[in-house]
Every structure is written in structure tokens, then in C-alpha cells.
Amino acid sequence: MKAFLLAAGFGTRLKPLTDITPKCLVPIAGQPLLFWWFQLLERHGVTEVLINTHYLFGQVRQYINYYNKKGKLYVHEFYEPVLLGSGGTVAANKSFVSKEESFLICYADNLTDVNIGSMIEFHNSHDGILTMALFHANNPKQCGIAQVDKNRKIVEFIEKPQNPTSNLANAGIYAARKEIFDFFPNRKFIDFGNDILPQLAGHMYGWEIQDYLIDIGTLENYEKAKLDWSSKKIMYGVY
């Protein structure tokens, strides 16, 4: 299986840390954030990853080259002189997954040990176009919120709703079938939350995460993630 890993953001809320370090390379338990993503994907059978770069791309490129010499999966870099948005990166690299029935799309803003294998198993059990990993949000107004029926089909999705109908929030991890490209608008900049996911209501399913997940987008969450993960790294044989 192949995966997109979206990691080109500026990490503005992590300043001053991200003044000199791209967000996807901030250290957690002795390794850059990307390392934990690559390890997670490897454990669940992903063989190739495409990662987009933009801000401080040279550092990310250097790490990709280093990892490709030692890792079990191969990492492709897609440099964006101008950011294309979460959906724009995927659209521009449609050929990367042209031979795949399904593929993963993950936002590298998060730190997680989510059971991707279980998610893929659920994805293969239905005929929807997309499976969205979901978590229970404390502040649903700040998230993309899904309304799910008794069969776990997502019947409505609204990005940052003023009046949320649930607290099941988009975790930024998707398993998608190639039919998803039929829902992409014909332009370069595309945002998943606003441009694609609302259209997929009725054609996608929700899978609730039972594992660790944290958005490291703030300094407070970053410090919490470092403490949490220091005990977890022993589980994965990394010291």
C-alpha cells in the first residue's frame, strides 16, 4: 500500500521552535516527528510514501535521503514552491497511486500510534469511497465534524461548524479509493476539509480511533506529546 503524508506547513503556532526547524522534524523522544510516522506506516505494510515539502524543505529533504538509506519503505519528496493545500498535493500526484485500489492520506501534524491495519480492514469491509479516522473532540467548533449513522456512514461533514451536531472530529487520517479523484475541483489549490469531504457525505464511513492521537500544533500539546511518547518508544524498540 502507498500513502500520502502531508507535512509542508509552517508550524506557526510552534514558534519560536519552528523558526529554525520544520514542524515535521521537531524532536519527540529522541527522534523527529517524521520518524514516528515512517515507523507507523512501515509496521502496517506501507511500502511507499509521498511527502510534500515547502517550508525549510532542505532539512526535510536531507532527512528523507537519510531515511531512504535505512528504512523499509521508500519516501518520495514532492516539493511545492507554492503550497497546494491538503487536497492539491494529492491531486497533483494522482499518478503516484494510479495502480492502487486504495491508499492512505495522513496529516503529519499529529503524533499517533493508531492501528492503521484495523482501519484498513474496516475500509475493505464497505464500498464507500473514503474511510475517515475520527476522535471525540473537546472543542468541536475548531474541527471538521462528522455526523455518523448507525452503520458508521458519514451522512454530513462540516468544517468548523458554528453549531456542531456531534463531537466526532476528523483526525486527518484517511483510507481512500481512487474514485475520490472524481470529487476534486479543477484547480491547483484544494483543501480537503472545505472542498472535498462535504461532497463525500453519504459516500464515506467513519472509523473511531481507540489509540493515542495528539495534534502537536501548539507548544502546550508539543510538551505533552514529548512526555507521553517517552514511555511509548520502548514499546517500539527505539531507544
Dump pLDDT digits (tens) for 98-124.
999 999 999 999 999 999 999 999 999
pLDDT at 233 over 60: no
From 66, 24, 32, 68, select the one nearest 48 (Cα to Cα).
Answer: 68
First to last CA, the chain: 28
pLDDT at 237 over 60: no
Please identify which residue in the block is written with the cell numbers 520544520.
Answer: 22
pLDDT-derived band at 238 (thresholds 50, 70, 90) equals very low
pLDDT-derived band at 226 (thresholds 50, 70, 90) equals very high
**% of the chain at pLDDT higher than 90:** 87
State which amino acid sits at residue 130: L
pLDDT at 234: 44
pLDDT-derived band at 231 (thresholds 50, 70, 90) equals confident
Mean pLDDT, rounded, for 209-225: 93
Domains of the chain plus CATH, in order, are: 2-236 (3.90.550.10)
From 146, 114, 143, select the one nearest 128 (Cα to Cα).
Answer: 146
26-66 pLDDT, tens digit per residue, is 999 999 999 999 999 999 999 999 999 999 999 999 999 99
